Amino acid sequence: MSSPQELSPPKARFSLHSERLGPLPLVNHFIERIGLEALLDRHVPSDARCAVPHARALGVLLRSIIVEREPIYRQQETVHGFACGMFGIGSEEMNHLSDDRLGRALDRLFDADRAALLTEVALAVAERFGVNFDECHNPVRPSASLVAIVALQAARFADARHRRSLLGTRRTIGSI
């Protein structure tokens, strides 16, 4: 029979460090693929004195809306609850993130040419994801164009994925 000293586990050479990721790796992949930060940086330029550029602050808000939907005054807590870099800002920029900083970024977004920004985002999505604009109509509201594009792509995906289960029934989307 073995002695108690032989049964004790050896000292651990490794330690476990866990971080919360949530859906942010997937969200970040699409944001990077669209090139959203570069588009925001071009349309909502920052002053060199800004600790957190407007484009990155707006990226934090976008990710927060997708993931947590917390109020602006709780963004710093939300960002710190996830792994470093998941919200598109580094650890140094995390320390400078505040509701005032985010508010200034939103002010600059309001002052920017949002129609041109939305057009460039829609064109980037079309280019990188292969969206054909021949199937979309031009509504009065520009924001509805992007909704129509996303709805068409979602319907195509759902139709292709569930074609066999639909037993010949076709799904169509009318104008929005």
pTM value surpassing 0.85:
no
State the pLDDT at residue 84.
82
In a domain, 45, yes or no: yes
Asked whether residue 106 falls in the same domain as residue 136, the answer is no
Residues whose CB falls within 8 Å of the CB of residue 42, separated by 6 or more in sequence, listed in order = none
Say how far apart CA 105 and CA 112 lie, in whole Å.
11
Q: Where are the alpha helices (DSSP H) in 36-171?
A: 36-43, 54-67, 75-80, 91-96, 99-111, 114-129, 142-161
Q: What is the mean pLDDT of the segment spanning 45-53?
A: 85
* Contact yes or no for 26/66 (Cβ under 8 A): no
Say how far apart CA 98 and CA 77 lie, in whole Å.
10
State the pLDDT at residue 164.
41
In a domain, 42, yes or no: yes
Q: What is the mean pLDDT of the segment spanning 137-154?
A: 56
In a domain, 5, yes or no: no
| Residue 119 identity (one-letter amino acid) | T
Q: Is the pLDDT of residue 152 over 90?
A: no
Task: Give the CA dihedral 81, 20, 103, 117, nearest 10 degrees.
Answer: 180
Give 41's pLDDT tier (boundaries 50, 70, 90): very high
Q: Which domain holds residue 34?
A: 24-114
Domain count across the chain: 2
In a domain, 57, yes or no: yes
Say how far apart CA 35 and CA 126 lie, in whole Å.
12
pLDDT in tens, 58-70: 998 888 888 888 8
